[in-house]
Amino acid sequence: MQCFNNRDEPGTSQFTGPSGKVMLLPEDDPNATHIMIATGTGVAPYRGYLRRMFMESVPKFKFGGLAWLFLGVANSDSLLYDDEFTKYLNDYPNNFRYDRALSREEKNRNGGKMYVQDKIEEYSDEIFKLLDNGAHIYFCGLKGMMPGIQETLKRVAEERGENWEEKLSQLKKNKQWHVEVY
């Protein structure tokens, strides 16, 4: 966490927030796959990514890969930027996927609340194949989301006969694993 403050100037405020390069969108491969998992306002960086991928005219970056967004919120009225994401879904069906997890409106396959980790588990075979082929995976939102996601990924890996700790280590080594939680 980095703190910016200029106490010598009247009317200035103190701002804090994450700093660093964890959540930068790698642009070295415009055909890469980006799996983005968010809870609540953690969707904000992904909105920026998607605008860059689909709306901005960038001379050296023309996105041709897959952007897959998983967004978890309590209710459908809490879906931030839903109209924008739905438009990308309609305009770029080969390059964008959008899955929502509404914990107070949907049930998972066991009859419990639907969280992002339940959506990850639902698509786990596809997600693991994408990761094996170099996909980037991002997590942003409340830090409380990570234990459930980590447990799900570990369980799925073990069901597939893989060692999750080794897989996670390799993902980090390959710079495919990006986490910014608060």
47-85: pLDDT as tens digits: 999 999 999 888 888 899 999 999 999 999 999 999 999
Structural domains in the chain? 27-181 (3.40.50.80)
**pLDDT for the residue 10:** 55
* Mean model confidence pLDDT for the chain: 89
What are the structure tokens assigned to 1, written together?
């966490």
**pLDDT for the residue 13:** 52
- CA dist 22 and 139 (Å) reads 10
**pLDDT for the residue 3:** 43
| Averaged pLDDT for residues 151-166 | 97
